[in-house]
Amino acid sequence: MEELRKTYNPKEVEGKIYKLWEKSGFFNPDKLPKRHKKPFSMVLPPPNVTGTLHMGHALTVTIEDIIIRYQRMLGRKTLWIPGTDHASIATETKFLKESGVRKSDYGEKRQEFIDLVNDFALKNKDAILKQLRSLGASLDWSRLAFTLDKKRINAVEEAFIKMHPKKGEGIIYIGLGKVVNWDVKNQTAVDDQEVEYEVCKDKLYTFRYSKDFPISISTTRPETKVGDTAVAVNPRDKRYRQYIGKKYENIKFVGVNLSIEIIGDPSIDMQFGTGAVGITPYHSKVDEEIADRHGLRKIQVINGVDRMNHNAGILEGLKVDEAKERVVEWLRSNELLEKEPEEIEHNKPKSQRSGGKIEYLPHRNQFFVSVSKPIPERKTKTLKELLSDAVKSGKIKIFPKRFEKVYLNWVKNLRDWSISRQIWYGHRFPVWYVPPAPTGDDLDYIVSRTKPGQGYEQFKDTLDTWFSSGLWTFSTLGWPGKTKDLKKYHPTYVLETGYDIIFFWVARMILMSQFLLGEIPFKTVYLHGLVRDEQRRKMSKSLGNVIDPLDMTAKYGTDALRFALIFNTAPGADSTISEEKIKGMRNFANKVWNATRFVLQNTKSKTQNPKYKTSSKDKTNLQKLKKLVKEITRDLESFRFHRAAERLYHFFWHYYADKVIEDYKKGLVSKALLFKFHETLIKLLHPFMPFITEEIYQKLPIKNKKTCLMVENWPK
RNA sequence: GGGCGACUAGCUCAGCGAUUAGAGCGUCCGCCUUACACGCGGAAGGCCUCAGGUUUGAAUCCUGAGUCGCCCACCA
């Protein structure tokens, strides 16, 4: 037998071992040995093709690979599906930023532009797939998927049509003039979830529209006031009660004729400002809701390119910021300002993706998924109800449990999902119209996979990227086809992902699966936290504190990185990673390696004829080992991966190495026991440190050895 | 405004009802003891944020306070 080197060298092991696994075919459940019967399935959260993998991905892969390897060893028919996400808006934004390409140069050459983004995406995709392999992920590559490949495009179209068979039907509708969050920088609408709020100091202006207007109002956005159609007060407010119902016509405000109705609405806070709010229905979501409640007129005064439009009178053509100054000047010179502007803290909306300004404005042909329309095929329940039922009923369990509350609270406040994006890279709508472009009030369109006839053009917009990821658990299994995979592996068993995408992704998968299949997409959701640096900061390029997982695996080995990631990492809690921690785990890997050397050196010579009698210590040692197996198994069953890892680390080093091996040297324990310990520990460690344990397994003289440790029986 | 989490060794964190409270990294002393210096032996270091309560027993459960952080809603 060859001598093991003194220190473990992951470089000469990992590539070789991964090939061995791939060659075995055991990543694919169809090729697993007979004993693997009961299916166990999971999808990998498809990484965005915006770049390469970071520590967060590495943690995801580590946890999921631990789960799948454990289940495989238990004897389940394990399927873990790999894939990547086209991430339409994120990828397009990133591409524009990195390439310097200007979209405006491609006005009529949409396909050319898409090809460029595609190239960019493909390059990243290849890198990602390589990285996944190098992290040791035992994914079934034969089922590799991409959210924008042919099969998934088919699934998306099918889903859309099921949700919206034709104009006026289903749960998708076009929001004619519904206010959207408009990302001025990216020139697209985005969903509520993609809007972030930044606290900043702003000026609150208090004024009247005109000298004879009875009520003064406060606002941080005076320029929008040319679009006001009402002033709302609280009906209980004694100061204003007598005005409710009155109408003031022909108010001259910055050269615009305003017509303002005084309305009473209980949502108005009497304490804030003057207790009266100027209602701007087309440039505020809250105002829009109030306007709908009271049947108010709506006037758009700001356009999509950050300028005032033709309804803004003398402000027309001005940039929004300029218009603001102009209005303030006008108010001053007309002595309408009640007092000097106050500095207040204000939450300013901005786009999570582009970092640019969000302007609320009406959009003519924006598609929405209604979350509150009763669905006949689902016992007239609404999506909202389906979403909350899935978790409330206990069909889906979220772990850690506290996230169930977070989820349910979110569902409670959920508004319709805005799914149209004015982005080019992504899924097209199976929706057609006859040009000129649909800007009319009554838009005519046809829902169809293919061109419905002469003169039709397809909708220019693309779908929110989460629309396709929402289908992931079943689109990867062949849906809408009635495939064997779908029957066997859906619902999936565990959905493991970061808590930061519980709404974006987890909720959307539940939504899609409930609507389209009438079943849950997974039984358990396991959420992990953010991976931070040693000082608990988020890793970011601008901070320069990014630790690249591949650098670390190259330096210390994949097993060391994986162990460091899971060590001391509680479920749902943010964790930290540092080079020092990884180094420590590299040392552990080396400890495992050298214990193996010791065992091999002591077994190779006279293994045939072991004369070791069971010693007094053997019995207690065996009990200890048995207890450990029980604990590790329990930890894994209850998703306490960190505890299992910590236990294993401690047991291996401070019990097995420090006590058992030392006792063996003194002749206090038998060789059989030593070997039993080693074999068992290697198996228990395998899900966590797959490479080194597999390498060791291949070298150990074990009876009835299998092709690889990966399919060995989990110790009992 | 609503909700959630954290506060444990110098640092980062496990532990969440019961024997002298743990790990990684760091610190100090001594060792190349033929598996391992990516190591071995030893040591220092903790009123487990504070105040009440429940309990035979609390870092662990309950109540309250303080500090920090996160999420959701968005306030004109």
Mean of the pLDDT values across residues A11-20?
Answer: 96
Q: What pLDDT is recorded for position A34?
A: 96
Mean pLDDT of A479-501: 96
Rounded distance in angstroms from the CA atom of residue A270 to the C1' atom of nucleotide B1: 15
Tokens 């930890």, residue located: A635
**CA of A222: nucleotide with nearest C1':** B76
Contacts 24+ apart (CB under 8 A), A576-581: A576/A531, A576/A532, A576/A533, A576/A534, A576/A536, A577/A55, A577/A531, A577/A532, A577/A533, A577/A534, A577/A547, A578/A533, A578/A534, A578/A547, A579/A547, A579/A552, A580/A534
Query: Model pTM?
Result: 0.95
Axis-axis angle for helices A88-99, A110-134 (nearest 10): 100
CA atoms within a 13 Å half-sphere pointing along the CA-CB vector of A105: 7
- In angstroms, the CA of A587 and the C1' of B56 are apart by 45
Residue pLDDT, tens place only, A316-329 = 999 999 999 999 99
Tell me the nt nearest to A584, Cα to C1'.
B24
| Nucleotides of strand B under 7 angstroms from a protein beta carbon | 2-6, 11-16, 22-26, 35-41, 71-76
Instruction: Tell me the CA–C1' distance in angstroms for A48 and B38.
Output: 36
Rounded CA–C1' distance between A531 and B59, in angstroms: 26
Tens-digit pLDDT profile for residues A381-418:
999 999 999 999 999 999 998 999 999 989 998 999 99
* Å between CA of A259 and C1' of B21: 72
Length A418 CA → B43 C1' (Å): 63
Highest mean pLDDT among A201-205, A349-353, A375-379: A375-379
Angstrom distance, A438 CA to B65 C1': 60
Scanning every strand, the nucleotide with its C1' closest to A592's CA turns out to be B36
The answer to whether A19 and A710 have CB atoms below 8 angstroms apart is no
On the CB side of A15, CA atoms within 13 Å amount to 5
Q: How far apart are CA A643 and CA A566, in angstroms?
A: 9
Distance A688 CA to B9 C1' (A): 28
pLDDT, greater one: A126 or A198? A126
Closest protein CA to C1' of nucleotide B40, residue: A658
Nearest nucleotide to A233 by CA–C1' distance?
B76
Band of residue A100 on the pLDDT scale cut at 50, 70, 90 = very high
Count Cβ atoms below 10 Å from residue A293 Cβ, excluding itself: 12
- Rounded to whole angstroms, the Cα distance separating A186 from A103 reads 10
Q: Which nucleotide is nearest to A204 (CA to C1')?
A: B76
Q: Are the beta carbons of A690 and A630 closer than 8 angstroms?
A: no
Residue whose C-alpha is closest to residue A422's, from A156, A173, A189, A181: A189
Q: In the structure, how many helices (H) and strands (E) does chain A have?
A: 21, 27
Query: How many Å from the CA of A91 to C1' of B67?
Result: 40
The distance from CA A387 to its chain's CA centroid, rounded to whole angstroms, is: 17
User: How far in angstroms lies nucleotide B59's C1' from the CA of residue A650?
Assistant: 22
Protein residue closest via CA to C1' of B71: A406
Proportion of chain A above pLDDT 70, given as a percent: 97
Nucleotide nearest to A572 (CA to C1'): B5
Q: Give the CA-to-C1' distance from A582 to B26 in angstroms.
A: 15
- How many Cβ atoms are within 10 Å of A467's Cβ, its own excluded? 25
Using C1' positions and the CA of A557, the closest nucleotide is B38
Residue reference for tokens 């409710």: A244
| H/E segment holding residue A329 | helix A320-333
The pLDDT of A85-96, averaged and rounded, is 94
Kindly report which amino acid residue has its CA closest to the C1' atom of nucleotide B41: A658
* Structural domains of chain A ordered from first start: 188-363 (3.90.740.10), 578-711 (1.10.730.10)
In whole angstroms, B35 C1' to A592 CA is: 9
What is d(CA A3, CA A39) in angstroms, rounded to the nearest whole number? 40
| Å between CA of A684 and C1' of B8 | 29
pLDDT level of residue A436 (50, 70, 90 thresholds):
confident
Query: d(Cα A217, Cα A232) in Å, to the nearest integer?
Result: 10
Region A299-305 average pLDDT: 95
Nearest nucleic acid nucleotide to A580, CA to C1' distance: B25
| pLDDT (0 to 100) of residue A340 | 87
How far in angstroms lies nucleotide B7's C1' from the CA of residue A570? 16
Task: Report chain A's mean pLDDT, rounded to a whole number.
Answer: 92
- A412: the nucleotide nearest its CA (via C1') is B72
Please tell me whether residue A612 adopts helix, strand or coil conformation.
coil
Alpha-carbon gap, residue A536 to A560, rounded angstroms: 21
β pairing state of A522-528 and A397-399: parallel
Q: Give the pLDDT confidence of A655-685 residue by residue, as tens digits.
A: 999 989 988 988 888 888 999 999 999 999 9
CA distance A171 to A386: 13
The angle subtended at Cα A45 by Cα A534 and Cα A186, nearest 5°, is 85
For residue range A601-621, what is the model confidence (pLDDT) as tens digits?
887 654 433 445 566 678 888
Predicted confidence at residue A441, as pLDDT, reads 63
Question: pLDDT value at position A319?
Answer: 96
CB proximity list for A378: less than 8 A, separation 6 or greater = A386, A514, A515, A518
pLDDT band at A5 (very low <50, low <70, confident <90, very high): confident
**How far apart are the C-alpha atoms of A323 and A330, rounded to whole Å?**
10
Least confident of A442-446, A522-526, A590-594, A684-688: A442-446
Nucleotide nearest A659 (Cα, C1'): B40
Nucleotide nearest to A287 (CA to C1'): B76
Angle in degrees, 0-180, between the axes of helices A671-685 and A641-650, rounded to the nearest 10: 150
Closest residue (Cα, C1') to B34 = A598
Smallest CA–C1' separation from A217, nucleotide: B76
pLDDT value of residue A568: 86
Looking across all nucleic acid strands, the nucleotide with the smallest C1' to CA distance from residue A657 is B35
Query: A265-274, A443-452, A520-529: lowest mean pLDDT where?
Result: A265-274
Q: Give the mean model confidence (pLDDT) for residues A154-169.
A: 97
- pLDDT at residue A431 in the model: 97
Residue A608: per-residue pLDDT: 39
Residue–nucleotide distance: A78 CA to B12 C1' (Å): 35
Q: Is the pLDDT of residue A523 over 50?
A: yes
Q: Is the pLDDT of residue A1 over 60?
A: no
Nucleotide B2's nearest residue (CA vs C1') is A409
Residue type, A615: S
A643-668 as b/e, with b when 16 or more CB fall inside 10 Å? Answer: bbbbbbbebbeebbbeebbebbeeeb
Task: Please report, rounded to whole angstroms, the spatial distance between the CA atom of protein residue A453 and the C1' atom of nucleotide B44.
Answer: 84
pLDDT at A703: 83
**B24 C1' closest Cα residue:** A581
pLDDT confidence of A124, banded at 50, 70, 90?
Answer: very high
Span A334-369, pLDDT tens digits: 999 998 888 888 889 999 988 899 999 998 789 999
Q: What is the pLDDT of residue A613?
A: 56
Q: How many Å from the CA of A464 to C1' of B8?
A: 45
Determine contact, residues A651/A659, Cβ cutoff 8 Å.
Answer: no
pLDDT digit string (tens) for A21-76? 999 999 999 999 999 999 999 999 999 999 999 999 999 999 999 999 999 999 99
Residue A571 CA: distances (Å) to CA of A316, A446, A635? 54, 47, 12
